[in-house]
Amino acid sequence: MERGRAPPPPWRGPWILCLLPALAGGQPLAAGEAAYEEWRATGVRGRAVELSCGPAAAAPPAVVFWSFTPQGEGLPRAVAVGSGREVAVAPGARLLGRVTLRNGTLELRELRVFAQGRFLCQGLFPERGRLRVGYAAVLLRVLVPVSKPFVRPTAAAAAEGAAVALTCSVREGTEPLSFSWQHQEPRGGPSVTPAGLGDSRAELRLTPANRSHTGWYICTVHNEVNNQTSDPIYLDIVYGPDEPAIRVEPFSPEQGGFSAGEREDVVLSCLAPSNPPSRYVWLHNGSQVHVGQTYAITAIARAQAGTYTCLAENSHLQTRTQATIVLTVYYPPAGSPSCSALASEDQRDVALRCRWLGGFPLARLRWVGPQEEEEEEEGLMGSSFSMATRIQSGAATRNGSSFSCLASHPALPLGAACGTTLWVPSGSPTCAAAATKGDEYVMLRCRWEGGTPLVTLRWRDAAGRTLGDPAASTAVLVLSTDGSLGGREFVCVAAHPLRAAAAECRLRLGKPDPSPPPVPRRVGTSLPEPSPPCRRVEVPELEAESEVAVLEGGEAQLACRQRGSGAGLGAALAWYDPKEREVTPGPAKYRLEQGEAWVNLTVRDAEWPGDSGIYRCTATNAVGTASLPVRLRVDRESRDGRQGWAGGIEPLPAGCRLSAGYPAPPNVTISKLRYTRARTEVRLEWRTQGAGNLTGFVVQRRQTKKPLREPPSPWETAAGDIEPHSRDRRLGGLDPAVLYAFRVLAVNHRTAGHPSEVQTPAEPPFEAYPAVTGAAVAGMLVATAASLLAVHCLARHRDALPRLHDLLFRT
Ligand SMILES: *[C@@H]1O[C@H](CO)[C@@H](O)[C@H](O)[C@H]1NC(C)=O
Ligand SMILES: *[C@@H]1O[C@H](CO)[C@@H](O)[C@H](O)[C@H]1NC(C)=O
Ligand SMILES: *[C@@H]1O[C@H](CO)[C@@H](O)[C@H](O)[C@H]1NC(C)=O
Ligand SMILES: *[C@@H]1O[C@H](CO)[C@@H](O)[C@H](O)[C@H]1NC(C)=O
Ligand SMILES: *[C@@H]1O[C@H](CO)[C@@H](O)[C@H](O)[C@H]1NC(C)=O
Ligand SMILES: *[C@@H]1O[C@H](CO)[C@@H](O)[C@H](O)[C@H]1NC(C)=O
Ligand SMILES: *[C@@H]1O[C@H](CO)[C@@H](O)[C@H](O)[C@H]1NC(C)=O
Ligand SMILES: *[C@@H]1O[C@H](CO)[C@@H](O)[C@H](O)[C@H]1NC(C)=O
């Protein structure tokens, strides 16, 4: 409140004069000394304010009268009047708030804005026995607190670069108002006052708006009374996508791109800042391969090399950006590097060759060595791609020097290597001569094996002329024997780069021929120049069926023949059995037939499984040996459809087959051969001679007494199903008009023994025929232990041998 002195206002309100005598109770008035005071007071709407009439310390007035003149309005209105304890408040005073009056002081609670204006108080103050008239004016200002502000952006979402403004407004509040702004990042974080923006103004201008403006905004409004803060509002700035950044893991940058080893796991990730976040698409060589920010390639293949493009899209703004990288996939060449050493033409140097073709990038190769000087060259000096050749002087190389070819490749952390050791075989070449089959040609052979590179051999004649081509390790010269070679000398010269001097061996053929040595003619060709004979000889070539099948007990023929140009030169042909033993014509098991360029092996009486296996046919000549395997398969026949030389033989029950080995069957002799009652049937008995296993007997017959000069009719089998322990047989179905001859053979697993002598049947003894039969049977039963076995066997297998069974047990 501020107080100040002002001139006394004009006396208004004659009504108070009427009132005064009653209020003063007869006390004298001191009108002349009436004081006037004016001051200012401030109240806040809704709150309380006290307006006192005169200094607070002074005694309260005996009578007080308050009136009010609203701001800018002329007429005062009565508010309250009081005398002592009696107080009267004017009804219209409700407009000012809740008005009370105590001890002359006007109290306004729940102050209203309408109360802004001039309050005038007039009072009678008791003072030293008289009443002093005083009046005072209070200029009341009513302040309004600010209401809760609210923020309105020009747009809730805007693109980066656009002009965006946020406006903060309040419904009420006494001016002056001041504004302050706060900004918070989208995902929390500290609230900050946006720098450099019209921070105390009601409008926040973001011009141009950028991505950092995204987030929550609040506005606080202040005035004299209070401050109020708005609810936060969200401003979304959409932007992007920016240029994508591609990351490659594992990180292996190289010129113009990235690289990975084949079968490595590679992860490509793309980042293109954007709001809303980017949608990512990956393209490989321009074709879409993946949707998503990260593209993981497990065990990358070489076809997955190429360009990778990351496309980023902001679906809100419909904007796209892209970035491309080049990914190279390294893979090593297949296999391993190969090293070789070759002698130069003049045998002075060795060309060390290293090859490892393929791969990406090409493998880098270089030769190092020899071992003891390894430190000499380091680094990539002398390296080349895929192939590396080094010419090593033979004279400067010690026997046994090792050289290595080192291969390096980005996909092989450990690299690869091959090596070779240069050496000369010890000793000297050996010369030999051999005549081919039929003595048609002479082969001169020179050998010196071993060494790296191989020793180079060449033939010369005594005059120093080179014969044939130089060859490695073995040089063969074929000379046609024209009777002109006797006494001639041939030299084989061996050269190797690591040897300073050549080595040689010499051959002189046969006895000197007295006739002047004509130049031998050249074999197979007719070149005019009279040079010594020579002919290139190759390792023979063979051909044969790769597999031959035969039924058990049968005969198998394995044929093998030489083919090609060398076939006429008579290589030595041979067969080897599955145990790698050479087949000799001796044993009955095998038969060898041989021609100029073929050899057939017959395996007789094939056994299962013993004769099955790989047989080998070989051909050897001076140059080398060829070998060809032929598989012999011995099949076991099934019970049906078996085929044998005798034909029509019924299978024998397994339990009866006492003979399992296959040596020659025993000889047989016929002990009895007679007609029975009629001449349509004979009865035959026989014996075996000597040792030998057998599986049965066969009886054969044929007509005798044929007209002269006609060839004898063939033997036909009359009975083939006779089991091994039988020694007799009845044979029916004979033509009584025909005289038959019979013979018996023992059969040993499909191999026939020697046939018995041939007999013709005798006439039966006229009487006692049934008794003879019965006696014969009984006699047979007790005759031999073998017969007893037969009985056992027949009893067990009566179904299989019905005829025999009937024969024995019918009576
Ligand atoms: C009013 O005045 C009387 C007498 O002077 C005093 O007793 C009383 O306490 C005062 N009341 C207030 C509220 O000041
Ligand atoms: C965004 O704008 C503000 C002020 O206008 C500036 O300070 C800031 O660097 C801008 N941010 C970006 C990312 O451009
Ligand atoms: C805002 O008002 C609160 C009480 O409502 C007060 O504590 C704070 O200090 C005020 N702030 C300002 C800046 O006036
Ligand atoms: C992609 O291109 C690279 C380089 O041109 C090529 O090596 C690769 O085989 C290609 N892959 C496909 C799947 O097209
Ligand atoms: C050369 O060395 C090898 C072993 O590395 C040996 O077998 C051979 O006999 C040596 N040659 C000579 C001529 O000493
Ligand atoms: C040898 O076998 C072959 C092929 O089977 C054949 O052509 C040739 O006639 C047989 N030679 C002899 C003597 O059997
Ligand atoms: C007959 O075969 C058996 C078994 O198969 C054998 O033990 C016996 O030695 C063979 N007999 C003769 C004389 O070979
Ligand atoms: C079997 O007969 C043949 C010829 O008839 C004869 O060569 C052979 O020695 C005889 N074998 C025995 C064991 O008597």
Q: How far is CA 405 from CA 336, 338, 353, 400, 498, in A?
A: 11, 9, 9, 16, 20
User: Which ligand ends up closest to the CA of 503?
Assistant: 5
Locate 686 and state its tokens: 């026989």
User: Which of 364, 373, 365, 363 lies closest to 402, judged by CA?
Assistant: 373
- Residue 498 CA: nearest ligand 5 atom is 13
Residue 314 alpha carbon to ligand 4 centre in Å: 29
CA–CA distance, 320 with 313 (Å, rounded to integer): 4
Q: Is 424 in the pocket of ligand 5 (CB under 6 A)?
A: yes
Of the candidates 693, 735, 737, 695, the residue with the CA atom closest to the CA atom of residue 718: 735
Tell which atom from ligand 7 comes closest to the C-alpha of 692.
13
Separation of alpha carbons 410 and 415, rounded Å:
8
Instruction: Supply the DSSP symbol for 208.
Output: S
How far apart (Å, rounded) are the C-alpha atoms in residues 396 and 348? 10
**Helices and strands counted in the chain (H then E):** 4, 57
Distance of CA 64 to the CA centre of its chain: 109
Q: Which of 358, 414, 428 is nearest to 387 (CA)?
A: 358
The ligand 6 atom nearest the CA atom of 593? 13
Is the distance from the beta carbon of residue 692 to the nearest atom of ligand 7 less than 6 Å?
Answer: yes
Q: From atom 14 of ligand 1, which residue's Cα is the shortest distance away?
A: 103
What per-residue confidence (pLDDT) applies to 128?
A: 77
Reported as half-sphere exposure (CB side, CA atoms, 13 A), residue 239 has a value of: 17
CA of 758 to the centre of ligand 7 (A): 28
Sign of CA dihedral 721, 727, 731, 736: positive
* Ramachandran class of 726: left when φ > 0, alpha when ψ lies in -120 to 50, beta otherwise: beta
Atom index in ligand 3 nearest the CA of residue 180 equals 13
Residue identifier of the C-alpha nearest atom 6 of ligand 1: 103
Return the structure tokens found at 114: 């309408």
Q: Given the structure tokens 């048609």, which residue do they identify?
A: 440
State CA 605 to chain mean position distance.
Answer: 55
Instruction: Determine contact, residues 615/530, Cβ cutoff 8 Å.
Output: no
Count of CA atoms in the C-beta half-sphere (13 A) of 711: 3
Instruction: Give me ligand 1 centre to Cα 120, in Å.
Output: 21
Written as one letter, the residue type at 111 is L
Ligand 1 atom showing the smallest separation from residue 102 Cα? 13
How many angstroms separate the CA atoms of 540 and 617, rounded? Answer: 12
Instruction: Say if ligand 5 is within 6 A of residue 427 CB.
Output: no
Q: Which residue's CA is minimally distant from atom 14 of ligand 5?
A: 426
Mutate to test the pocket of ligand 7, among 693, 748, 751 (most ligand atoms within 8 A of CB): 693
What is the distance in A from the centroid of ligand 6 to the CA of 438? 22
Write the DSSP assignment of 213-248 as a string of letters.
G-EEEEEEEE-SS-EEEPPPEEEEEEB-----EEEE
Look up residue 391 and give its two tokens: 């010419």
Considering every ligand atom shown, identify the ligand nearest to the alpha carbon of residue 301 and give its number: 4
Q: Which ligand is nearest to the CA of 600?
A: 6
Question: Distance (Å, rounded) from C-alpha 250 to C-alpha 37?
Answer: 91
Q: Considering only the C-alpha atoms of the chain, give the largest distance between any 2 of them, rounded to a whole number of Å.
A: 209
Task: Find the radius of gyration of the CA atoms of the chain.
Answer: 68
Q: Are 686 and 668 in contact (CB under 8 A)?
A: yes
Q: Which atom of ligand 8 is nearest to the CA of 666?
A: 13
Q: Supply φ then ψ for residue 342, to 5 degrees.
A: -130, 140
Distances (CA, A) of 803 to 92, 142, 157, 197, 774: 155, 149, 114, 130, 17
- Ligand 5 center to residue 487 CA distance, Å? 36
CA of 721 to the centre of ligand 5 (A): 74
CA 222 to ligand 3 centroid distance, Å: 8
Rounded CA-CA distance 131/271 in Å is: 92
CA of 666 relative to ligand 7 center, distance in Å? 12
Residue nearest to atom 13 of ligand 4 (CA): 303
Contacts (Cβ under 8 Å, ≥6 apart) of 224:
143, 174
Q: Which of 477, 427, 419 is nearest to 455 (CA)?
A: 427
Which of 608, 656, 657, 659 gets mutated to test ligand 7 (max ligand atoms within 8 A of its CB)?
Answer: 659
What does the alpha-carbon distance between residue 232 and residue 191 come to, in Å, rounded to a whole number? 11
**Strand order, beta sheet including 266-271:** 245-249, 266-271, 294-297
Phi, psi dihedral angles at 338 (to 5 degrees)? -120, 135
The answer to whether the CB of 426 is under 6 A from ligand 5 is yes
Residue 106 CB–ligand 5 contact under 6 Å: no
Among 236, 233, 223, which Cα is nearest to 168's?
233
Task: Report the nearest atom of ligand 7 relative to the CA of 693.
Answer: 1
Report residues whose beta carbon is within 6 angstroms of any ligand 6 atom: 559, 593, 600
Q: What is the rounded distance in angstroms from the CA atom of residue 142 to the CA atom of residue 51?
A: 13
How many angstroms is it from 591 CA to the middle of ligand 6?
12
Residue 149 alpha carbon to ligand 6 centre in Å: 119
467 touches 507 (CB < 8 A): no
Query: Could you give the CA distance from residue 665 to residue 679 in angstroms, rounded to a whole number?
Result: 32
Q: How far apart are CA 36 and CA 50, in angstroms?
A: 19
In sequence order, which ranges of 47-111 are alpha helices (DSSP H)? none
Q: Is the CB of 756 under 6 A from ligand 7?
A: no
Q: Whose CA is nearest to atom 13 of ligand 6?
A: 593
**Closest C-alpha to ligand 4, atom 1:** 306
Atom in ligand 8 nearest the alpha carbon of residue 691: 13
The token pair that represents 8 in the structure block: 């006394």
Tell me if 79 sits within 8 A of 115, measured CB to CB: no
Give the residue carrying structure tokens 């067990």.
796
User: For residue 459, which of 484, 437, 448 has the smallest C-alpha distance?
Assistant: 448
Number of neighbours of residue 614 by Cβ within 10 angstroms: 13
Tokens at 591, concatenated: 């038969």
Q: Which residues of the chain have pLDDT under 70?
A: 1-35, 56-57, 194-200, 371-381, 436-439, 482-484, 510-538, 565-570, 622-623, 637-663, 706-709, 749-751, 765-811
Å from CA of 693 to ligand 7 middle: 6
Taking CA atoms only, the protein residue closest to ligand 6 atom 4 is 559
Shortest-distance Cα residue to atom 1 of ligand 3: 227
Res 141: pLDDT: 93
Q: Annotate 333-357 with three-state secondary structure.
A: CCCCCEEEEEECCCCCEEEEEEECC
Q: Distance, CA 345 to ligand 5 centroid (Å)?
A: 23
What φ, ψ does residue 780 adopt, rounded to 5°? -65, -40
pLDDT of residue 442: 79
| Two tokens, residue 515 | 């006739």
Closest residue CA from atom 10 of ligand 1: 103
Tokens encoding 47: 């709150």
Question: Which of 64, 101, 103, 107 is the pocket-test mutation for ligand 1 (most atoms within 8 Å of CB)?
Answer: 103
Q: Give the residues surrounding ligand 3 with Cβ less than 6 Å away.
A: 222, 226-227
pLDDT of residue 625: 79
